[in-house]
Structure 1
């Protein structure tokens, strides 16, 4: 299994659409901060819009997917001076906002990915604050299927839409920034092929002794050159990325296997249970044994949960 596929599987994502916007004219719609375990996204299939937050402004065109890994509050706007009324109707799987009295100029899906508090949260924590990707032709073909399924909105739509959104995210994670020069490179699709092979090796074999010197040798670089190039191309440090990948695998093993904590530690490259426990708690806030107990035997919720950001 390739590294992107493995990361998406480890993250245990569940993509959902909250609102489909079929809009004309100008509007401004505010999105509050996302709750824990929710990563908002916006996908444009037709028309254009602008998304702004306190930290960024992004202009989206057809085929653009924007992710907000930190769940920042943001606003979706269009620039037309014409202000039109719109209605919102709830369907089987999501709501649809539709301008009244005018043909839609914008076809925009607003939704979120639900991620578990272990591997999924760590994956998005290793990403930039905003991820803006222009989808390639295969991804656009999937997006068109998504559009058709959303129009149908009948039995099975929920699970089909979720599968399509997961596939679109995988395609986004392997997209290189060459398609968008203003977008930082995602380490999941590193444009530097040499560094990319090194990172793939870490994802495939997290339990090996990946020292900086060994990684530099694998990349045929000096230690200083490797560190400089790695930080510049990935936007993070070797230690942060290595620990993040290892903790993602560890979280998956703790919940998906009966391996002892000691064996999980060895599987992800730790020879000391205490060192593994400290690293795991620093990443996820609890010790490995506590994490396993929380995931396998969660406390019953005392209130109702939200269906996601609107």
Structure 2
């Protein structure tokens, strides 16, 4: 898997959910703080985002997309001064869906919203590096793939057909990847910084692909530098500057993240988990795992089994 796909797979839990609703002015909704991430798309009409951290309100027009990666509480309304009411969620935490057909009239607003459950205990720096919210304005000829994913999701929610229960979660996962790809790789007028710069740098990207492709391989800095077509010293400096930590430190972090996911998501024997994390000794793996997580691998697995789904 590539780095972006890996980062999302490592954090995603449960099933995403979404809703397609019509709002009649005046309206205002307050979305509470959560452990997940969410998005809003204005399909027709307009709205105002009342961002987290007391930032200025942001006007959203037709086709605008907003992504909130950190689960901060925020508001959405027809006007910035409209009072907000708490979002009414279903018992399972999902949002009720109104299947609206036909045009939106007058001051009405048609909105597509969605949310993802994330495990933030091992949050990948690619996501923690994101700002409090991302606003992707609609522009003619821009973000074609993102727009296509939005259109397909909106159509499935508006008119469910056989297979929609499987299609909608898959489209939500696809939309999440397109949102992040658009932000990281194409929608950064100030130029790439942080992890965006790392993903835009061919040398660092080559090394990251090597690490994510073969995390169990006993990589050395020199071997990773060869993947990047750089000398050992030049590669180490460039990788550390862009990723924020030295190559082997990131390698260890990713190995432990992979091991934790295997322990919680599979019944693979400890020896197998250790091998896939790059350890030939179960004892050495258990020691490294406890140093990273604070608990032994077996206990970590049991804690995951005892947690509600």
Structure 1 counterpart of 2:95: 94
Which one of 131, 134, 137 corresponds to residue 132 of structure 1? Answer: 134
Counterpart among 133, 136, 150 of residue 157 in structure 2: 150
Is the alpha carbon distance of 1:219 and 1:242 closer, same or farther for their aligned partners in structure 2, counting shifts above 3 Å?
same
Q: Root-mean-square deviation (CA), in Å?
A: 4.3
- State yes or no: 1:112 paired with 2:110: no
1:42 pairs with 2:39? yes
Alignment of 1:244 onto 2:253 = yes
Secondary structure at 2:217 match in 1: coil
Query: Which residue of structure 2 aligns with residue 254 of structure 1?
Result: 263
1:173-201 CA-partner distances (Å, limit 9, x unpaired): 44433322357564698111221121111
For normalisation by structure 1, the TM-score amounts to: 0.71
Q: Find the aligned partners of 2:42 and 2:17 in 1 and give their Cα distance.
A: 14
Mapped partners of 1:201, 1:58: distance in 2 = 42
**Residues 134-160 of structure 1, C-alpha deviation per residue, up to 9 Å, x if partnerless?**
482122112111111222357754443
**C-alpha distance in structure 1 between counterparts of 2:196 and 2:84, whole Å:** 42
In the alignment, is the contact (CA less than 8 A) between 1:230 and 1:238 conserved in 2?
yes
Q: Secondary structure of 1:95's partner?
A: coil
Secondary structure, counterpart of 2:22 in structure 1: strand
Q: 2:170 aligns with which of 145, 163, 166?
A: 163
2:189 equivalent among 173, 178, 181: 181
Segments of structure 1 that go 5 or more residues without pairing to the other structure are 306-310
CA distance in 1, matches of 2:275, 2:177: 29
- State the alpha-carbon separation in 2 of the partners of residues 28 and 236 from structure 1: 43
Give secondary structure in 2 for the equivalent of 1:75. Answer: strand
Number of positions where the alignment pairs a residue of Structure 1 with one of Structure 2: 290
Normalized against structure 2, the TM-score is what? Answer: 0.71
State the shift of 1:207 in Å: 0.8
The structure whose RCO (Cα within 8 Å, separation 6+) is larger is 1
For the residue of structure 2 that corresponds to 1:29, the secondary structure is strand
The answer as to 2:215 corresponding to 1:212 is no
- The 8 Å contact of residues 185 and 234 in structure 1, kept in 2 or not, is answered as yes
State the match for 2:29 in structure 1: 29
